[in-house]
Structure 1
Amino acid sequence: MAADTVSATTQDSASAKGRKLLEVRDLAVEFRTEEGDVKAVRGVNFDLRAGETLGIVGESGSGKSVTNLAMLGLIPQPPGRITAGSAMYGGYDLLRMSDRELSRIRGNRIAMIFQDPMTTLNPFLTIDEQLTEVTRKHLGLSYKDALDRAIEMLEKVGIPGATRRVFNYPHEFSGGMRQRVVIAMALSCDPEILIADEPTTALDVTIQAQILELMQQLQEEHNTAIVMITHDLGVIANMATDVLVMYAGRKVEQAKVHDLFTDPRHPYTLGLLNSIPRIDEHVGAQLTPVHGQPPDMSQPVVGCAFYPRCPYRIDKCLAVDPPLVQVDSGTLHACIRDVTQIDKPTSQVIPS
């Protein structure tokens, strides 16, 4: 099977930090609806390297989650369909694999932490049944060894009384506890690539810090590559190596994390940074939102998709769909204006 070869190949290749594990090119995904075909992802490109974290940010509906679900064969077909692109992993294209081949990789070499734990966990099965299934299938562990591993992972993600609670059902846990179980499941096989879709949304800040620290520890110990999908730019500042900003299904900016926060180049990125609450503002100061709504992606996009919401737009923006341009720092941005001439915010969230 191709998946077996992928696993062996990537385990060897992941030993060197910075070595390319995943190469996504021109990925396009559509969903058929009564209103028309919604172009959810439009020609997305990125690389993912061992030991590094790629942060993906953008509003809801920008295509962040769909991009990663498509790579793992988790787009419901129909109504969804991948119309173009490739996702090369270990010399094989994930988009061309059968579901049987992908099932050997999903949860094993590539794991995903989903945003909603209630749609991830089976309400009719106890936690031990669900956690041990992963390691028994992919690592060949006995039930006893798999149970020990499940308890170990539950303890790592901060669930008290793990030896007892591992036999509970999902409904016996709070929302935050369920999310921790999902995270434990994703980390059980020490994956080479971890895709985290808003992994700490349901958690308080203390547990959030513990979970992020655990992910970083996994990355250091196993050279794991992480894709961090989030709205929280503070998490991105502390976790990411590179940042990809998505809008209307396409990449509008990509930069090293420090460059993105100190020298953003796309007006949408400026808007996201402007909307961060600042501790140095006076009491009662209002936030500066990105005004307007994202475009209807079931309709053709004319010119720059951000044009109706952009405070720096000019007439030419309506006629040109701006290509990605690279600047001296290596940042890629899709804007025809020289935004270095635009007054930009100095973010209080600066990566260390």
Structure 2
Amino acid sequence: MGTGGRRPLLEVRDLTVEFRTDDGVFKAVRGVDFDLKAGETLGIVGESGSGKSVTNLAMLGLIPQPPGKITAGYAMYGGYDLLQMTDRELSTIRGNRIAMIFQDPMTTLNPFLTIDEQLTEVTRKHLGLSYNDALDRAVEMLEKVGIPGARRRVFNYPHEFSGGMRQRVVIAMALSCNPEILIADEPTTALDVTIQAQILELMQQLQEEHNTAIVMITHDLGVIANMANDVLVMYAGRKVEQAKVNDLFNDPRHPYTLGLLNSIPRIDEHVGAQLTPVTGQPPDMSQSIPGCSFYPRCPYRIDKCQEVDPPLVQVDTGTLHACIRDVKNIETANAPAQST
């Protein structure tokens, strides 16, 4: 997508990640490109296993190597390629300038340390705060994410919190240093809708106050509709569509995107209306994929789709899509003739 004259805060090109397994080489991410601008939100959507999380973990040096390996690409941030940095160099950026909210709080929080030890470590290391100032900051952030009795609860261990409360602690940790880039990987999955709304509002407030750029990884297209400026749709480790959020919802161009939109309930549908799920299963990424990876599941497929791995093409709205058949043209051709 274009950058509108502004240089991107983060520029990712041709990112390719593989995992060597007993069953072969698993191609988790295949040549992903995107730009992220300050003050804007990029939504990344797709089924589990589409490469959404791996894309962002790779940028932060969090892919275990081996079995993982970044085989191509770059991720430019602040004039430096994140993919070429040592772990020591990345440690000055992770949690500070670029923070990530992980899906599972139990793998993020250390069960042997109290919450105050974990939250104060971040701001003491990156902001140079004293313990007392760091503790005040920790309590402030816990209050912002809706932890009741934060001044008392900050001294609890992770197991003394519910799953949703632990996720709020993880979010508080990620926001503590007011990062330039916030990567949110399913940040509200374990939260009820009321707290979810509060967390999303907090993230938007941070964005407005500090011009924070956000990468929102989620299955929830409702969150994407409310939060994102641009949306990247991933399938089988590859970007298959990227568009401005309104264009994606109102004028999707890839059959997979259309399938995702058709599989969610709509408030303008009558009661009892049937949803249309995306049939079939994603491909085995350890095997060679001839032609279009979405071919076996695509309702618009033709024989040529088995032979051609479609490149990304841009349409008049600026949307990029990887399909030899434009959904809009197919839908128009199949539409009933209008009577005169």
For the aligned pair, the TM-score class normalised by the smaller chain equals over 0.9
One-letter code of the match for 2:101? Answer: I
Q: CA RMSD in A?
A: 1.1
- What is the aligned length? 328
Give the 5 Å matches for 1:127-138: 127-138=115-126
| Correspondence for 1:82 among 70, 78, 96 | 70
Residue 343 of structure 1 corresponds to: 331
The equivalent residue for 1:259 is: 247
Match of 1:24 among 12, 16, 34: 12
Find the aligned partners of 1:18 and 1:222 in 2 and give their Cα distance: 17
Deviation at 1:287, TM superposition (A): 1.8
Deviation at 1:290, TM superposition (A): 0.2
TM-score by length of 2: 0.95
**Which stretch has the larger CA shift, 279-288 or 219-228?**
279-288
Give the alignment partner of residue 319 of structure 1, picking from 307, 324, 334.
Answer: 307
Measure the CA separation in 1 of the matches of 2:235 and 2:304.
Answer: 19
Partner of 2:338: none
The one-letter code matched in structure 2 to 1:262 is N
SS at structure 2 position matched to 1:343: helix
2:134 maps to which of 146, 152, 172:
146
Report the Cα distance in structure 2 between the residues aligned to 1:149 and 1:316, rounded to whole angstroms: 59
1:20 CA drift (Å) = 1.4
**Residue number among 33, 39, 57 corresponding to 1:45 in the alignment:** 33
In the TM superposition, 1:44-193 aligns within 5 A as 44-193=32-181
**Take 1:104 and 1:163, find their aligned partners in 2: how far apart are those partners?**
28
| Equivalent position amino acid for 1:320 in 2 | V
TM-score, normalising length: structure 1: 0.92
1:195 to 2:183 alignment: yes
| Post-superposition offset of 1:339 | 1.7
Q: Secondary structure at the match of 2:71?
A: strand
Is the 8 Å Cα contact of residues 14 and 73 (structure 2) preserved in structure 1?
yes
**Deviation readout 1:99-138 (Å, 9 max, x if unpaired):** 0000000000000000000000000000000000000000
Letter in 1 for 2:157: Y
1:249-290 CA deviation, whole Å, 9 max, x = no partner? 000000000110000000000000000112343443332100
Q: SS where residue 29 of structure 2 aligns?
A: strand
Is the 8 Å Cα contact of residues 228 and 245 (structure 2) preserved in structure 1? yes
Moved over 6 A (4+): none
Structure 1: gaps (5+ residues): 1-16, 345-352
Instruction: For 1:236, give the aligned amino acid.
Output: I
**2:208 is aligned with what amino acid?**
E
**Contact kept in structure 1, 2:254 and 2:326, CA below 8 Å:** no
Q: SS at 1:45's partner residue?
A: strand
Aligned equivalents of 2:178, 2:144: Cα separation in 1: 13
Q: Is the 8 A contact 1:18 1:52 kept in 2?
A: no
